[in-house]
Amino acid sequence: MARTTAILSSQPNPADQSDRRQKSRTPTIFTLLYSGMDSGRMLIADGVVTNLSTNGIGIRGNRSVTHGMELALFIDIPGVEEPLCVAESRVSWVEGRRFGVELGAMKLEDMNHLRFFLRDHNTPSNNQDGSN
C-alpha cells in the first residue's frame, strides 16, 4: 500500500487517513483539554485522546473545531503528574467531533514524557502495516 503524507497533514479528507500515516499510532483513551480561537471567540473544551504518536494526536472532542484551527492542548498522560502542555498545534482533519491534530513545538520535558509513554505502550500490532 502506498503511503503519502502523515495522517495529521494538511489534507482535509479523513476518509483515507489510515493511508496517510507515516508513524505508528498508539491507541489510547485518556483525557485532554483543548483551547483556541474560533471566529474571534475563545473555545475551551474537553476531549479524549484516541491515538497518539510523536507528531500527532487523534481526538474525540465535546466541541467542534475547524480544519487549520490552532489549538493549545493539555493532555493527561497516565503516570505523569502534570498535564503535558502543547502550546502550538494545528487541526489537520475533522470528521464531526473527531479530529486530528499536528503537534507543534513542545518543551523538552513534555516531549520526553510523550516519547516514554509511546515507548512503553507501543507494540507491533499498533503499527499501521506492521513495517514501522
Domain ranges of the chain: 14-109
pLDDT of residue 12: 39
Q: Which CATH architecture has domain 14-109?
A: Beta Barrel (2.40)
Cell numbers found for residue 8: 495529521
With cut-offs at 50, 70 and 90, classify the pLDDT of residue 79: confident
CB-CB neighbours of 21 under 10 Å: 23
User: pLDDT for 25-61, tens place per residue?
Assistant: 666 788 999 999 988 999 999 999 999 888 899 999 9
Neighbouring residues of 39: CB distance < 8 A, sequence distance ≥ 6? none
CB-CB neighbours of 80 under 10 Å: 15
